[in-house]
Amino acid sequence: MEFIQQALTNPMIMYPLLIWSIFWKGLALWRSARMNHKGWFIALLVINTVGIFEIIYLAATRERYRFLEGLR
């Protein structure tokens, strides 16, 4: 546990992790807004999982998003 706390206070680890998380959260929030998934948007906004939850959401909605974009 001490190792994790020590690693997260290191800027060489924290800043790339922060950029990674913001990137995936932005993509997932954008897609959920475009698909009018209000519940997912709120969940993605509130839950912080360092990009894991966001990547799962993006993978799960990939085909539906492509279909909807093809209709526009």
Look at residue 11 and tell me if it is in a domain.
Answer: no
Look at residue 9 and tell me if it is in a domain.
Answer: no
Look at residue 44 and tell me if it is in a domain.
Answer: yes
> By C-alpha distance, which of 49, 40, 4 is closest to 22?
49
Domain carrying residue 33: 17-71
The structural domain count of the chain equals 1
Task: Note the pLDDT of residue 66.
Answer: 87
Q: Look-up: residue for tokens 């969940």? A: 43
Q: What is the pLDDT of residues 16-58, one digit of tens each?
A: 999 999 999 999 999 999 999 999 999 999 999 989 999 999 9
Q: Do residues 3 and 36 lie in contact, with contact meaning Cβ atoms separated by under 8 Å?
A: no
Look at residue 8 and tell me if it is in a domain.
Answer: no
Task: Note the pLDDT of residue 18.
Answer: 92
Look at residue 45 and tell me if it is in a domain.
Answer: yes
Look at residue 36 and tell me if it is in a domain.
Answer: yes
Look at residue 56 and tell me if it is in a domain.
Answer: yes
